[in-house]
Amino acid sequence: MSNGDRLPFTSALVTGASGFIGSALARRLVRMGVTVTGVATRPREGLDPDLQWSFGDLADAGYVKRLLEPDPPEVIFHLASYVTGGRDRDIVLPAFHSNLTSTVNLLTFARQPECRRIILTGSLEEPEGEAPVPSSPYAAAKWAGSGYARMFHALYGTPVVTARLFMVYGPDQKDLNKLIPYVIRSFLAGETPRLSSGVREVDWIYVDDVVDGYLALAASGEALEGRSVDIGSGRLVTIRDVVEEINDLMQPGIRLHWGSLQDRPLERICVADITTASRHLGWRPKTPLRIGLEQTIEWYRNHG
């Protein structure tokens, strides 16, 4: 979907609009003429001045009620999350509140028919198959959020759909410890990145393609309501191959040491099934990995 296309709504709420994917989505919506309210936890420098901002904790039901009830947006894009792959016990409660409580609050207080579509954000980390076991507190909370979405749709007819994102990369990723920004910044600084064995296979998807997916979901009919839709490349590439590709593009002259970090336990390997997105939304990823990495490297070169 390009800037010249018209969207079938004029107002939207984007939670997590100060984050990596939420800020890219909000920017695109504004360019397409949508009035966007962004939610973040606190005011600070660098927030997009083209948005109206609301600050609060989405795990606080009172805040969400005040946010949604007076003037409901036509579309809610819910991207706010405590994003962490960590397994520590002290992550359980923050991951639960920032991912699951926030999602249930939004589903509860988004009034229909004014709010015509709610798009939640799921994750490749959500377990699948028979008797699935989530591999982290984050995965458990995301998985439960998708379950609540199905329940709200089945019981109350809530027009909710979940975008199940795979590994997103691109310019301005806020968590600089994530593999791609970490490796690029290490190379730019002339430092040797600390790397695991690199054998894990991952489905990498460029942020602009993800934004296209959200817009297509917002504009789509009722067929996907109550469902999760994979937004990924549909292809697995190992961490080692991604780092080698960055190395090839940047030529930092650094010898890579594989295995200086331990591999994480219970790491899931899964690839997006993009048949649903392609059939119902006409959505397909457009950005080849090398081009996406080139654009990402360029951004970090220019932004330090």
Ligand X SMILES: NC(=O)c1ccc[n+]([C@@H]2O[C@H](COP(=O)([O-])OP(=O)(O)OC[C@H]3O[C@@H](n4cnc5c(N)ncnc54)[C@H](OP(=O)(O)O)[C@@H]3O)[C@@H](O)[C@H]2O)c1
Q: Which residues bind ligand X (CB under 6 A)?
A: 15-16, 18-22, 39-42, 57-59, 79-83, 98, 102, 121, 123-124, 165, 167-168, 174-175
Between 82 and 283, CB nearer to ligand X: 82
Between 80 and 107, CB nearer to ligand X: 80
Smallest separation, CB 25 to ligand X (Å): 9
Between 42 and 89, CB nearer to ligand X: 42
Q: Is 60 helix (H, G, I), strand (E, B) or coil?
A: coil
Between 6 and 266, CB nearer to ligand X: 266
Smallest separation, CB 149 to ligand X (Å): 13
Side chain identity at residue 82, one-letter code? Y
Q: Which of 70, 74, 68, 75 is nearest to 106 (CA)?
A: 68
Smallest separation, CB 103 to ligand X (Å): 9
Cβ atoms within 10 A of the Cβ of 290, count? 12
Host H or E run for residue 181? helix 179-188
Neighbour-count burial of 79, counting CB atoms closer than 10 A to its CB (0-12 exposed, 13-18 middle, 19+ buried): buried
Q: Output the CA torsion sign for 125, 59, 45, 54.
A: positive
Smallest separation, CB 91 to ligand X (Å): 13
Between 54 and 192, CB nearer to ligand X: 54
C-beta nearest to ligand X: residue: 19
Smallest separation, CB 279 to ligand X (Å): 22
Tokens coding 64: 């969400």
